[in-house]
Structure 1
Amino acid sequence: MTQHVLPPIRPEYDRALPPFVEAPVERALPLRVRLWQLGFLRKGLIIAALALAWEGLARWQNNDLLLPGCLATLSALTEGVASGELLDRVRISLTVLAQGYLCGIGLAFLLTTLAVSTQAGRDLLSTLTAMFNPLPAIALLPLALLWFGLGSGSLIFVLIHSVVWPLALNTFAGFQSVPETLRMAGRNYGLTGLAYVWQILIPAALPAILSGLKIGWAFAWRTLIAAELVFGAASGRGGLGWYVFQNRNELYTDRVFAGLLLVIAIGLVVENIVFATFERLTTRRWGMVR
């Protein structure tokens, strides 16, 4: 009969630990390093360098009709804001822009929802984007003027065209990149149709959707300014584009630059405050992007 031999028992012992010594506190980073880590400060330095170069070039050119300096442009901008004219033009432009932008977003999500749901929707989206995405939105303005007249309807039409295709392409690409495990989880919960898109695809594809929203915003903003230049020539009314057009005709070059500077400033605010805040509260907070 075989006897089972028990393994030897390991002896227990106490290990004397060395006395605790507080770890040395790391020294704080130098002030210049901490300041350089601030993104808004770095961007502000870039803008200040560009402004200095602009002012130096204008002084070297010495012709305010061709190139007014940065200080003269800021003075004209201050006068326009104080008089209320520029604020009124900004209100007109942003009102039309919001209408076209929101309509474009709605149409883009409708097309992408159909594309991820049915084969016919995918064929429709790929065909329409191949046809109309390369077509400049401003090229449709003559037709828009014929169809909708000299009003905001023509502007909204070209804005929708400038927004819907880049947003639809980015959104659909984001939907296509959603991992199969998330898709299977959504199907296991019985999600279909809009519920599946809203609860599974949109959160997972949010970085791509945000990229499409940024591209659509940029396309819509520059299309609106260009279209308002035509409206200025046609009917003498409009927003910031009309302000630039009118002052160019009257040879107020400083006001032209003031209008363009305001266009740039609005773009910076939307990009670095509105979109950046939304991205920080969503994709960066969820660890989806660095």
Structure 2
Amino acid sequence: MSDGTLHLPAAASLRRPLVLGPGARRAMILALLAAGWELYARWLGNSLLLPTFLETLGALWSETLNGELPERVWASLEVLLTGYAIGIVLAAAITALAVLNRWGESLLSLLTSMFNPLPAIALLPIALLWFGIGSSSLVFVIVHAVLWPLALACHAGFRAVPPTLRMAGRNIGLSGPSYVFALLVPAALPSILSGLRLGWAFAWRTLIAAEMVFGASARSGGLGWFIFTNRAQLETANVFAGLLTVILIGLAVETLVFATLNRVTVRRWGQES
């Protein structure tokens, strides 16, 4: 009986399920997706329709070494960051005006109702007429893609701030910009980060789609132009290498930027469990 009692904890520890961290779980899921891609492509046996995962990695490595892919990626990111930054500034200005003034709130409500349902890529012909073929047209459609969802998310977060917290801010003398940036922004940070994530995703896919339509030029086109030209040349492995690059950049931004911001602000401040 004493022997059984002594061995029970050891037996229970052996039956305890293995708990993996979020990073390990994501890595395993990615490995399974890559293995499924490889197996299905080998079973299909047609590289023109679907190259294997290893062939795609080979094309990615080759285009990286010859400098073609890094040049296209940099061209896209340069345009993307410019439009994203402008969109953030405009969204902050419009949302702050909406918080401080009833006319500003009506303006934000009207503009988002008008322009948020409008796909950014639908403005591409107008951008071409106004700015011509070049990065300015791409920046214009990216600003549209970022501005409205971010403004809506920020405004929803501001409206969710408890009235008692608002009154406390007024009582200690906060008003105008100090009221917005010292009280409302920290309190609404979870919604703001969600809006930034959403704006980034909209901007990234809008940019790739716009570049696939017209690029900037054959010399300075970005990642979407790389995908388009390789599709026209039936270089399917390079097409998938470009698509994989889009995915990898999205994962990197989500993991290194937004997840880090969420961890050092929202979670640290106890605004999210």
1:222-248 deviation digits (Å, cap 9, x = unpaired):
00000111124x742411001000100
Give 1 or 2: higher helix fraction: 2
2:266 aligns to what SS in structure 1? coil
Equivalent of residue 165 in structure 1, options 145, 148, 156: 148
Whole-angstrom distance in 2 between the partners of 1:31 and 1:282 = 37
Q: What's the % identity of the aligned pairs? A: 60
Whole-angstrom distance in 2 between the partners of 1:138 and 1:185 = 44
Whole-angstrom distance in 2 between the partners of 1:73 and 1:96 = 26
Following superposition, the deviation at residue 273 of structure 1 comes to 1.6
Equivalent of residue 261 in structure 1, options 234, 238, 244: 244
Matched residue, 1:53: 36
Equivalent of residue 107 in structure 2, options 124, 134, 138: 124
Matched residue, 1:67: 50
TM, length-normalised to structure 1 = 0.87
Following superposition, the deviation at residue 199 of structure 1 comes to 0.3
* Amino acid of the structure 2 residue aligned with 1:177: A
Whole-angstrom distance in 2 between the partners of 1:30 and 1:254 = 46
- CA radius of gyration, larger in: 1
Equivalent of residue 185 in structure 1, options 168, 175, 187: 168
Matched residue, 2:6: none
Following superposition, the deviation at residue 38 of structure 1 comes to 1.0
Whole-angstrom distance in 2 between the partners of 1:133 and 1:53 = 37
Are residues 1:218 and 2:204 paired? Answer: no
Are residues 1:198 and 2:181 paired? Answer: yes
Matched residue, 1:110: 93
Equivalent of residue 127 in structure 2, options 141, 144, 162: 144
Whole-angstrom distance in 1 between the partners of 2:64 and 2:121 = 28
CA contact (8 A) 2:38 2:54 kept: yes
1:135 aligns to what SS in structure 2? coil
* Amino acid of the structure 2 residue aligned with 1:184: M
Change (3 A) 1:32 1:199: same
* Amino acid of the structure 1 residue aligned with 2:205: R
Gaps of 5+ in 1: 1-25
* Amino acid of the structure 2 residue aligned with 1:44: A
**Structure 1 stretch 134-143 or stretch 80-89: which is displaced more?**
80-89
CA contact (8 A) 2:138 2:207 kept: yes
Larger RCO of the pair (alpha carbons < 8 Å, separation 6+): 2
Whole-angstrom distance in 2 between the partners of 1:50 and 1:282 = 32
